[in-house]
Chains A and B, each alone.
Chain A
Amino acid sequence: MTIFKVIGFGIIAVSLIIILKQQKQEIALLCVVASSVIMLTFIFDDLKNVISLIDKLVIDSAIDSSFLKIILKVIGISYMVEFGKDICKDAGENAIANKIEMAGKVIIVSLSIPVIASLLDIVAELV
């Protein structure tokens, strides 16, 4: 099961990072980055199954599939923003973490402009 792989990998990574933290903070941080990258790749095959299932469901139903593309993009962006933000917070750089988060929010809002526009059209029709 992938969950055991992830947990085992996390425990090993944390123990290595503690050893490195006393002598070399910079290499410990790089070890944090490497282990979080590898742990993310573990879950991607399950994620692909979920996304293909969602694609099938949306195609069968009458929902406009362009919204689904935007939703998937927003999900992907939020994963990566969280990934970068946590690493910066680990290194103690909260200012940079907040900048990454702010940039992520701006990009997500700019991506979801067509959705907001279509929502306003629907509301205008109702009125």
Chain B
Amino acid sequence: MDIDLLFKIAGVGILIAVLNQVLSKAGREDQAMMTTLTGVIIVLMMVISKISELFNLVRDTFNL
């Protein structure tokens, strides 16, 4: 079902948050920023494929 996509996104988000804490405590602020960016990009990829799927569905049903 689609619930696992939601758990994947939440997992990536929590992982990124933890990584950020670890990296910022270790004094590497720039790498913390990089991990945030990579996390957001990964989640964005997942969400964009879902959004295009929804838009195609809308295009078919309402023949827009």
Annotate A24-51 by CB proximity to B: 1 below 8 A, 0 otherwise. Answer: 1011101101110110110010011001
Would you give the shortest CB distance from A69 to chain B, in whole angstroms? 7
For B44, list chain A residues within 8 Å (CB). Answer: 30
Per the CB 8 Å criterion, the residue count for chain A at the interface is 32
The secondary structure that dominates the B interface is helix
For B14, list chain A residues within 8 Å (CB). Answer: 19-20, 23
Given known A23-B20, A48-B61, A73-B64, contact A41–B9 (CB-CB < 8 A):
no
Query: Which of A12, A27, A37 has its CB near the most chain B CB atoms (within 10 A)?
Result: A27
**Range, interface on chain B:** 20 to 34
Cβ A24 vs Cβ B17 within 8 A: yes
From A34, A48, A76, B9 is in contact (CB under 8 Å) with: A34
Would you give the shortest CB distance from A45 to chain B, in whole angstroms? 10
Q: What 14 new A-B contacts, CB under 8 Å, besides A23-B17, A30-B40?
A: A12-B6, A20-B10, A20-B13, A24-B13, A24-B36, A24-B39, A30-B9, A41-B53, A47-B61, A48-B61, A73-B64, A75-B62, A76-B64, A80-B55
Binding site for B on A (CB under 8 A): 9, 12-13, 16, 19-20, 23-24, 26-28, 30-31, 33-35, 37-38, 40-41, 44, 47-48, 51, 69, 72-73, 75-77, 79-80
